[in-house]
Amino acid sequence: MAAGRVTIIDVARETGISVSSVSVALRGEPGVSDATRSLVLAAADRLGYQPDRRARGLRERRSRVVGVTFGLHQTFHAALVESLYDAAAGQGLDLVLSATTPGRDVAAAVDSLRHERCDAVLLVSPDVDAATLAELGSRQPTVLVGSDLTAPGVDTVRADDDAGMALLVGHLLERGHRTISFVDGGDAAMGATRREGYRRAMRAHGLEREIDVLPGDPSEDAGVRAATMLLARHAPPSAVLAHNDMIATGLLLTLRSAGVAVPEGLAVAGYDDTRLGALSSIDVTTVSQEPARLAEEALRLALSRAEGRSAGEASVVVPPRLVIRSTT
């Protein structure tokens, strides 16, 4: 047999059975004998036949393909995409990925997915405004993941980041900390929510005068800059929270290189529970957004909207989980 994808025609030739009968057998439909079905399935397995979901989608007017846009440089996005693959496999779906970069925005990423005949598109924490989101949602079934932005016709799935910041502040208070700074994520998705969640948690514990927000962005460099600012202070805080694990990593590496013991000299916590933060050399206390649950809910909403079963805009908020490690 020539090299290439094994087709239903190859299975028919291998068995000497008509293509139509092979098709019936492979679909598990009545119309062929048990012996014929067994023969076809054995040949398909031997040849390595895999059904063409795209061709099946053309017949059913659905592709069973979901497009996903994600930030190429965000570690949490990688964890969520991995969970999406696991969830998609369990539902017989394929994923097509389209990355965003500093030179490739969400609109460009979505445009490339349109050529794939996706049933729906998942936007993972996109850097867009409400008007752009509404326009994207008007073109095809769209689910927003990991953001609290809203728009007509767009479903949303996110973790409760306000509760996540409360978990972190409460944990540090239990460890005896009262001077707790926060390194901001700037304009990143959920940046304002995490910033306000920190402030709200501090006020709830009577620490309004201790609120201290350092400027930043969702990168390791922001952590380096924040650590440099803190080290220059006459009276630095006893603990610092970061918008995400990437910032926390930059903080940790800079503090350690300056000879500051963590957590004895300064406790550090991040957010997102990424593989980067879980490395033994980082081992940062953090909050998990429960990406497996986010992925399951996002695909459920995507299929519901693609099949026309959605009314209005659905919003799913997943409880976060505190992950305590050595940095606190």
pLDDT for 32: 84
User: Residue 62, Cα to own-chain centre: how many angstroms?
Assistant: 24
| DSSP one-letter string for 144-165 | EES-----TTEEEEEE-HHHHH
- Whether residues 253 and 109 share a domain: the answer is no
Task: Quote the pLDDT of residue 215.
Answer: 97
Q: Do residues 112 and 133 make contact, with C-beta atoms less than 8 angstroms apart? A: no
Asked whether the beta carbons of 147 and 122 are under 8 A apart, the reply is no
Q: Are residues 284 and 296 in the same domain?
A: no
Are 193 and 239 in a shared domain?
Answer: yes
Query: What's the total number of domains in the chain?
Result: 3
Instruction: Read off the pTM.
Output: 0.80
Is 326 inside a domain boundary? no
Q: What are 228's two structure tokens?
A: 């440099």
| Cis ω before 263 (30° cut-off from 0) | yes
CATH number, residue 29 = 1.10.260.40
Answer yes or no: do 251 and 296 share one domain: no
What is the span of the domain harbouring residue 310?
63-159+291-318
The verdict on 117 and 191 lying in the same domain is no
Task: Indicate whether 166 and 217 sit together in one domain.
Answer: yes
As a whole number of angstroms, the distance between CA 29 and CA 16 comes to 19
Interatomic CA distance for residues 215 and 229, integer angstroms = 10
Q: Are residues 136 and 245 in the same domain?
A: no
Question: Given this model, what pLDDT does residue 59 score?
Answer: 47
pLDDT at 53: 55
Beta-strand ranges (E) seen in the chain are 65-71, 94-100, 120-124, 142-145, 154-159, 180-183, 212-214, 239-242, 267-269, 286-288, 315-318, 321-323
pLDDT, position 209 = 96
Q: Answer yes or no: do 171 and 206 share one domain.
A: yes
| Residues of the chain predicted below pLDDT 70 | 1-4, 51-62, 310-311
Indicate the length of the chain as a whole number. Answer: 328
Q: What is the pLDDT of residue 52?
A: 61
Query: Does 103 lie in the same domain as 86?
Result: yes
d(CA 244, CA 172): 16
Q: Residue with structure tokens 């092979």?
A: 22
Domain shared by 169 and 229, yes or no: yes
Query: Looking at residue 219, which CATH number applies to its domain?
Result: 3.40.50.2300
- 187 occurs within a structural domain: yes
Domain co-membership, 28 together with 132: no
Indicate whether 181 and 267 sit together in one domain.
yes
